Structure 1
Amino acid sequence: MRLAPIAAAAAAVLAAVPAIAGGLITIQRPETATKGALTVSTPAFRPGGPIPLKYSAFAQDVSPSLSWSTAPAAKSYAILVDDPDAPGPTPFSQWVAWNIPPNITMAPEGSKSGLQGTNSHNTIGYVGPHPPAGDPPHHYHFQVLAFDRMLDVPAGAVRASVLAAAKGHVVAKGEVVGTFKAP
């Protein structure tokens, strides 16, 4: 049995499949497995559409307003914004916020709701899109998770710590995606 042709064919198939540069986004990770769904929306951009410059690190660098449907079993919510188009083994983390009270289903523009975590720029809170010049538009996943409890994670934590605490406690999740290309 000749393995070289099989290996070559497998390599060709893998080369044809687009890789996710930054790995799995938050709602695709096993730690966030759930059957519950949230509807997430924003007045700032249409789903799949371009994110206005205002919300980027090139301009005002404020988070867009987000709203989401309720999850009856929710005891808290989290917002995580991922850029999987950035190079690296994990998505670039633009925002990590958690322990948003269950009676809140809207984060206003520039929100500081809940506990704020450390993003991939090593700053606390939201950091807007800032893809490299010349890159095709990056996809920014504004994800909301509903938990069956408040998470025991200290302020300033990174995405991985929030995901570890989320395992087994996600009751619903959803997202809205926008795109951004460097001006």
Structure 2
Amino acid sequence: MTHPMKALSLLAVGASLAACAPTTSTMIGGANAGNGGLIPAQRLSVAQPSPSATSMTLRMTSPTLSNGTALPLQNVGSGNGCTGGNASPALNWGGAPDGTVSYVVTMYDPDAPTGSGFWHWIVYNIPASATGLAEGAGSAGGTLPDGAVQLNNDGGSLGYTGACPPPGDRAHRYVITLYALSKTISLPAGASAAYLGFNLNGATLAKTSLTAFYGR
């Protein structure tokens, strides 16, 4: 029979060793586990940037729109019944964290009736020296900072395409997001927004957003 004091000592040692072990996540399979009864290998948890590495000061403003307000007509699309100026919005930013090498700007409509939303604008590799984008910079004939690259929007054209939700829909949200990255990104020709998003993972130091609304 094990002496009670010895048993308590063994439990204390076991708890101490468990506290020093690396964090893992384990999935245990079984007849009803939904994974064929297999027991996959343990996976070390992926370390994320520490809070100290994430800037709380990154900020983005626009001289023509404020967070939570209507998208200006000049940023609305043209054609398909929409009569806007189809100009990408003017943006200003500052407060990027140390180590920022480039920026990405996107505009996304999560309310589009596509099942996956609609990407209106994606521009990446904006140099760290940039402090904003002029109105129309992402539109046809616009000028972007040296090195900046645009992807096709979900309408199939390069650069910006303005808001043009279906008539009668409730007002859609247009989320404009600024990312501060620790590197520049290399993407193949014709890369999708999802592919860019994959490359943002692990490289984003900070991000901030503005949301505008538009309906017709």
Q: TM-score range by the shorter chain?
A: 0.7 to 0.9
Q: TM-score, normalised by structure 1?
A: 0.77
Q: Percent identity?
A: 30
Task: Give 1:155 shift.
Answer: 5.3
Aligned to 1:181: 215
Structure 1 residue 70, shift from structure 2 partner: 3.3
> Retained in 2: the 8 A contact 1:116–1:155?
no
Q: CA offsets, 1:43-67, max 9 Å, x none?
A: 1112100011111113210011011
Q: Whole-Å Cα distance in 1 between the matches of residues 201 and 212 of structure 2?
A: 26
Over 3 Å counting, the alpha-carbon distance change for 1:40 and 1:169 in structure 2 is: same
C-alpha deviations, 1:96-123, integer Å up to 9, x for none?
Answer: 1000000002010011421000111011
Unmatched runs of 5 consecutive residues or more in structure 2: 1-47, 139-143
Gaps of 5+ in 1: 1-30
| Alignment correspondent of 1:3 | none
Q: 1:60 to 1:120 in 2, by over 3 A?
A: same
Distance in 1 between residues matched to 2:122 and 2:190, nearest whole Å: 9
Structure with the larger RCO, 1 or 2 (CA within 8 Å, 6+ apart): 1
Please give the alpha-carbon distance, in whole angstroms, between the structure 1 residues aligned to 2:160 and 2:169: 22
- Give the aligned length: 152
Q: Post-superposition shift, 1:68?
A: 1.4
What is the match of residue 185 of structure 2? 151
Aligned pairs for 1:15-34 (under 5 A) are none
Distance in 2, Cα, partners of 1:67 & 1:51: 16
Partner of 1:95: 121
- Tell whether the 8 Å contact from 1:116 to 1:156 is kept in structure 2 after alignment: no
Contact kept, 8 Å, 1:63 with 1:128, in 2: the verdict is yes
- Pairing of 1:110-149 with structure 2 (within 5 A): 110-112=136-138, 113=144, 114-149=148-183
Q: Over aligned residues, Cα RMSD in angstroms?
A: 2.1
Bigger radius of gyration: 2
Q: Does 1:52 align with 2:72?
A: yes
CA distance in 2, matches of 1:111, 1:170: 23
Q: Which one of the candidate residues 68, 81, 84 is aligned to 2:107?
A: 81
Q: Which of 85, 89, 94 is matched with 1:64 structurally?
A: 89
Other structure's SS at 1:157 match: coil
